[in-house]
Amino acid sequence: MNPTSATAAPPGMNSRIQRLRKLSVDTEPSLSIERALHETAFYRENYGKYSIPVLRALNFYDHCSKKTIYLGDDELIVGERGPRPKAVPTFPELTCHSVEDFHVLNTRDQQRYTISQEDIDVYAREVIPYWQGKTIRERIFGHVPGHWRDMYEAGLFTEFMEQRAPGHTALDGQIYRKGMLDFKNQINSEIERLDFLNDSEATDRLEELKAMEISCDAVILFAERHADLAEQLAATEKNPQRVAELKTIASVCRRVPAHAPQTFHEAIQMYWFVHLGTITELNGWDAMNPGHFDQHLAPFYMTETKDGGLTRDQAKELLCCFWIKVNNQPAPPKVGITARESGTYNDFTNINIGGIDKDGKDGVSEVSYIMLEVIEELHILQPGSSVHISARTPDRFLHAACRVIRQGHGYPSLFNPDVYVVELLRQGKSLRDAREGGCSGCIEVGAFGKEAFVLTGYLNVPKILEITLNNGVDPLTGKQVGLTSGGPSTFADYNELYAAFVKQLDYVVDTKIRVSNYIDRMFAKYAPAPFLSVVIEDCISKGRDYYDSGPRYNTNYIQCTGLGTVTDSLATLKKHVFEDATFTMERVLDAITKNFEGEEFLRQTIINRTPFFGNDDDYADDIAIRVYNDLLAAIDGKPNTKGESFHLNMLSTTCHIYFGKTLGATPNGRLAFKSISDGTSPSHGADTHGPSAVIRSLTKFDHTLSGGTLLNQRFLPSLIKRDEDIKKLGQLVRSYFTLGGHHIQFNIVDTDTLKAAQEHPEEYKDLLVRMAGYSDYFNDMNADLQQEVIERTENESF
Amino acid sequence: MHAPLIFDIKRYAINDGPGIRLAIYFKGCSLRCVWCHNPESIVPQAQKLYTAARCIGCGECVKVCSRQALEMTAEGIRTDSERCTLCGDCARICPTRAMEMSGEGKSIDELLTIIEREQHLFDQSGGGVTVSGGEPLLYPDYLFELFDRCGERRIHRALDTAGHVPEENLLAAAQRTDLFLFDLKLIDPVRHQQLTGITNRLILSNLRTLCTSGAQIKIRIPLIKGINTSNEDLQAFAETISALPGEKKDVALLPYHAIATHKYRKLGTSYQAEKLQSPEQADLDRALDCFIRHGLNASVGG
């Protein structure tokens, strides 16, 4: 993830979009207590009168009927989660922020959310007392066993659901064919078919279906209120062009989401209302995703541009308006450990562009190209975007994406449908559902519109090695957090060390899964999401909630972080301790304990004389394969509460930074508290043989056994200077994907990175400055030459 | 067989022929260009490189040297070249690779193992192997066997040569080379002699002969301000190249960069050309314009 914060609007954007973008970028995120006030009043009045699903739906309806409606100047796509752009509601039923939390959020340096003292006072008076002891978070922490808590606090894993609802949802094309009234018909026919004579769950189904119906009405009402406001504004508006726009907005909001959209504009607005509904009902992780948005919009675009009802520029303007709307919704603020592991405003809406369609054909359309232009020109934090490159994807599209990548914003990321479709098939999806699937959030795969694929938290794999080397004790606190698997002196050889590591791994994973399963049932019972359930297939026909195995597929993921760090650490011990006896185990452990102080010779020998992951060296890569396979063995196929299973993916987002902070120095020479490696990427600076070696190392393990891997590849601008270099970048991507890679993302090195490399050379050993017939490592250059390279990078010309 | 020492192998080379390539650098050169940007390529023997920026001053190399050739100074390690036998012990113990040996012998089989790791990328991109140097044609037997065996595997072969070799070697190379990257430094023979140590008579006649053989050739010119960027020099390049027999040749201009300076320091020598300057954009435009006027396809880089 490369958060961006440029304020200068690039040329080419029309003045409306420039103004909307400026407002979005310049507005500081704030907290709105409106939702919490409505909800608390509603719960005080109504708790106990209804079944939980109906209570939740009525609560949602109540908020939709009262919440402040925002319709800003210039807007074409309308609707905000809060009362104004960048205002985020709170969800006290999940986590009730304390007065102290608000003060921290209001004053911290990064990821600040402003809130007035007056609002804090109201919250303290009206909201906090009611929720005391009733929140999902308190109930979870009240339940968890002591050893889970010890592991959690030691940083062995995180728990996504302790303060946000399960999410990672993406939609299929259903909502472009059906309006909420159609869904209501479907719900009612299911209610009529309920068999109270033979079905012991018929009552539960009825309550859930009633809740779904109410939530459809809630979203229709929400849209109607926007139509009303647009008409009111049109009545007093002086500018005839704006009057016409407001009238269009009103008619669009009267049509969708009640009915299926008929135009490109309505289709975008349809999705946006559904998006807002799901993120207002609850605050599921990673917001909400439109899935293959270009494929969903393409039929509208084709028809309307042919009829002359829509021009390419108008379509692009509407997409820009949509993009800015997503940027207006910062992630709900987190607290505690979760704030440390996911400290970002990004709520990870990820637009999938290109790829294949449900019949396996090329999914690229003119809309895909327009979206690439929008990404390049808007240059905003949200939504994230990913480009999907199958063997069927034309080079023209790949090259267009590579040219956006060259801009150096860190996106779009690139995904390989030919691999992730196999991942989904292996997990049991039908071929068609797999092809309609893709990646939401960061890199995790799911069957869009048909699956609850719940990320349960990250696993700190290097930390597991750390406790293995300390007989189950966390050396930072002295607490016994793992098994007593035998101290390092008992390991006769490398295999014994590795066996102890696997034993600890299994223990940690099982501890995490036990609690995850408990949390899953908490959400199923106490925080169902009836509106989300409407738009995810099979929830209606099963009469079951999204959180209660309603969707066609139900997966739980554990995200494993730090493959590079743990591989390099194991390679170090294997080579230097057990094979070459360069250093004794005692000496290495002592050096780690001292954070390598006074042990620079040892540390540098390790860093420079150990085969590390990412160099196409089988010594290290074989260790990585083994670790990956053992992670799979520990996680993959373990039952979840929905009759399906846990799978692994290799995502890290920003958690590798938090995990690094919980981890002492590691045998690979990494200093204490420095971040661990991200995703399945090599450790920072460990890959010194160029990108072709990296992709070879990465494809030695089988990505199709995961639910996603992640490769961040650092790239110097000199490697993508000319048009033919863009083609070569495309060929590198094609090569990685035909070898079996799931995802790759290029971070084009900018001057900030080069300056950081001057400060911390060992983390940037891979920075190779290349020219025809000549190349050298950036770190080896003297300060003057480094300065010259920095200046050349600024001018994009070396 | 007279085998070279190899001083670098570069993966994902994108400026040395078509597609994505693996570039292999042989040590030893027949020219002595004052601006040489790969100074470790000049002599055929192994050399020791010392990178002061990497040295942590642990002194292990001083201890390990059986000849007492090393000394720790305020500026880092100083090597007494009279005593040093280039045994490499210091490089092996050095934890940071501040002390390195440049030049390593490799069997053809070893090279092929490395090459085959890139096969997938070659196939995807239409790339292949580029052998550069130094002057690879100083090792014809080794080079030819390597290229023949690449040829058996249908791997594209590019050869970067300065052309100052016996004509028969060049013609034999043409039997097994898919693309020549032929370096031209200057057309004026007197200044060529002054700046590279040899006249360019053989180079130019070899180039003409090679053209007649039907080989694929791309001309590469390192552009160095004040050395070969005058209108007269550019005019001479363009006239000579456009007069070559056979198809019109593509010309690649490689702008000189002062970035090589510190490599001389690593070798413990000084850079005679430290004051040389990179061409400016205007120089590059002028050069491109001159070649294009002569009907040549010219580009910057690669």
Decide if A771 and B8 are in contact by the 8 Å CB cutoff: no
Encoding tokens for residue A660? 């690094």
- Return the residue of B nearest to A695 by Cα: B121
Known active-site residue A442: yes
Contacts of A149 (CB under 8 A, 6+ apart): A141
β-pair type (A384-388, A350-354): parallel
The count of other CB atoms within 10 Å of the CB of residue A788 is: 17
Q: What is the CA radius of gyration of chain B?
A: 20
**Contact of A391 with A329, CB cutoff 8 Å:** no
SS (H, E, C) A136-162: HHHHHHHHCCHHHHHHHHHCCECCHHH
Decide if B56 and A770 are in contact by the 8 Å CB cutoff: no
The model's pTM is 0.93
In a domain, A544, yes or no: no
Task: Please determine, for residue A338, whether its predicted confidence score (pLDDT) is greater than 80.
Answer: no
Return contacts of B238-242, CB within 8 angstroms, 24+ apart.
B238/B290, B238/B291, B238/B293, B238/B294, B238/B296, B239/B294, B240/B184, B240/B187, B240/B204, B241/B184, B241/B291, B241/B294, B241/B296, B242/B294, B242/B295, B242/B296
Decide if A780 and B54 are in contact by the 8 Å CB cutoff: yes
In a domain, A205, yes or no: no
In a domain, A766, yes or no: yes
pLDDT of residue A109: 78
Q: How many residues does chain B have?
A: 302
Residue stretches of chain B with pLDDT short of 70? 273-274, 302
Chain B residues lying within 8 Å of A605, measured CB to CB: 95
In a domain, A392, yes or no: no
pLDDT range class, residue A770, cuts 50, 70, 90? low
**Contact of B299 with B239, CB cutoff 8 Å:** no
Rounded Cα–Cα distance for residues A58 and A67 (Å): 14
SS3 of A561, please? Answer: strand
Q: What is the pLDDT of residues A26-77, one digit of tens each?
A: 999 999 999 999 999 999 999 999 999 999 999 999 999 999 999 999 999 9
Contacts of A24 (CB under 8 A, 6+ apart): A85, A86, A324, A327, A328, A380
Q: Alpha helices, DSSP H only, in A472-599? A: 494-526, 530-535, 539-542, 563-572, 585-593
Q: What is the pLDDT of residues A734-756, one digit of tens each?
A: 999 999 999 999 888 877 888 88
Of B20, B58, B266, the CB nearest to A692: B20
Encoding tokens for residue A161? 């659901």
pLDDT of residue A773: 53
Of A692, A785, A788, the CB nearest to B12: A692
Nearest to A520 by CA among A641, A637, A647: A641
Of B12, B60, B260, the CB nearest to A691: B12
Nearest to A648 by CA among A659, A639, A637: A637
- Return the residue of A nearest to B61 by Cα: A601
Rounded Cα–Cα distance for residues A553 and A560 (Å): 22
Q: What is the pLDDT of residues A225-276, one digit of tens each?
A: 999 999 999 999 999 999 999 999 999 999 999 999 999 999 999 999 999 9
Nearest to A699 by CA among B8, B120, B268, B47: B120
The count of other CB atoms within 10 Å of the CB of residue B235 is: 14
Known active-site residue A655: no
Could you say which DSSP state residue B226 is in? T
Could you say which DSSP state residue A725 is in? H
SS3 of B184, please? Answer: coil
Strands (E), A144-275: none
pLDDT of residue A430: 98
Task: Please determine, for residue A302, whether its predicted confidence score (pLDDT) is greater than 90.
Answer: yes
pLDDT of residue A227: 98
SS3 of A88, please? Answer: strand
pLDDT of residue A557: 96
Encoding tokens for residue A762? 């060992």
Task: Please determine, for residue A103, whether its predicted confidence score (pLDDT) is greater than 90.
Answer: yes
Task: Please determine, for residue A795, whether its predicted confidence score (pLDDT) is greater than 60.
Answer: no
Task: Please determine, for residue A408, whether its predicted confidence score (pLDDT) is greater than 50.
Answer: yes
In a domain, A250, yes or no: no
Q: Alpha helices, DSSP H only, in A258-335? A: 264-281, 293-307, 312-327
Decide if B258 and A692 are in contact by the 8 Å CB cutoff: no
pLDDT of residue B142: 98
Q: Number of folded domains in chain A? A: 1
pLDDT range class, residue A553, cuts 50, 70, 90? very high
Domains of chain B and CATH, by start: 5-44+104-300 (3.20.20.70), 48-101 (3.30.70.20)
Nearest to A513 by CA among A557, A561, A466, A549: A557
Backbone angles phi, psi at B151, to 5 degrees: -60, -40
Task: Please determine, for residue A11, whether its predicted confidence score (pLDDT) is greater than 70.
Answer: no
Asked if the C-beta of A391 comes within 8 angstroms of chain B's C-beta atoms, the answer is no
Show which residues on chain B lie within 8 Å of chain A, measured between beta carbons.
Answer: 8, 10-16, 19-20, 37-38, 51, 53-54, 56, 58, 60, 95-97, 117-118, 120-121, 124-125, 132, 160, 220, 252, 254, 257-263, 265-266, 301-302
Encoding tokens for residue A571? 């390679």
Q: ipTM of the predicted structure?
A: 0.92
Encoding tokens for residue A295? 């494929």
Chain A residues lying within 8 Å of B58, measured CB to CB: 600-601, 604
Given the residues A439, A442, A560, A655, select the one marked as catalytic: A442
Encoding tokens for residue A66? 């009262």
Q: How many residues does chain A have?
A: 798
pLDDT range class, residue A510, cuts 50, 70, 90? very high
Contacts of A399 (CB under 8 A, 6+ apart): A726, A727, A730
In a domain, A65, yes or no: no
Encoding tokens for residue A720? 């993508």
**Contact of A646 with A557, CB cutoff 8 Å:** yes
Full residue range of the structural domain in which residue A790 is found: 751-798
What is the residue-wise DSSP string for B9-55? EEEEE-SSSSSSEEEEEES--S---TT-S-GGGSSSS-EEEE-GGG-
Contacts of B241 (CB under 8 A, 6+ apart): B184, B219, B249, B251, B291, B294, B296
What is the residue-wise DSSP string for A652-710? -TTHHHHHHHT----TTSPPTTS----TTPPPTTT--S-HHHHHHHHTTS-GGGSS---
Q: What is the pLDDT of residues A560-598, one digit of tens each?
A: 999 999 999 999 999 999 999 999 999 999 999 999 999
In a domain, A217, yes or no: no
In a domain, A768, yes or no: yes
By the 10 Å C-beta count (0-12 exposed, 13-18 middle, 19+ buried), A759 is classed as exposed
How close B288 gets to chain A, by Cα (Å)? 16
Rounded Cα–Cα distance for residues A228 and A234 (Å): 10
Mean pLDDT value of segment A8-34? 87
Distance set, CA A316 to CA A12, A296, B71 (Å): 12, 15, 68
Decide if B160 and A773 are in contact by the 8 Å CB cutoff: yes
End-to-end CA distance of chain B: 31
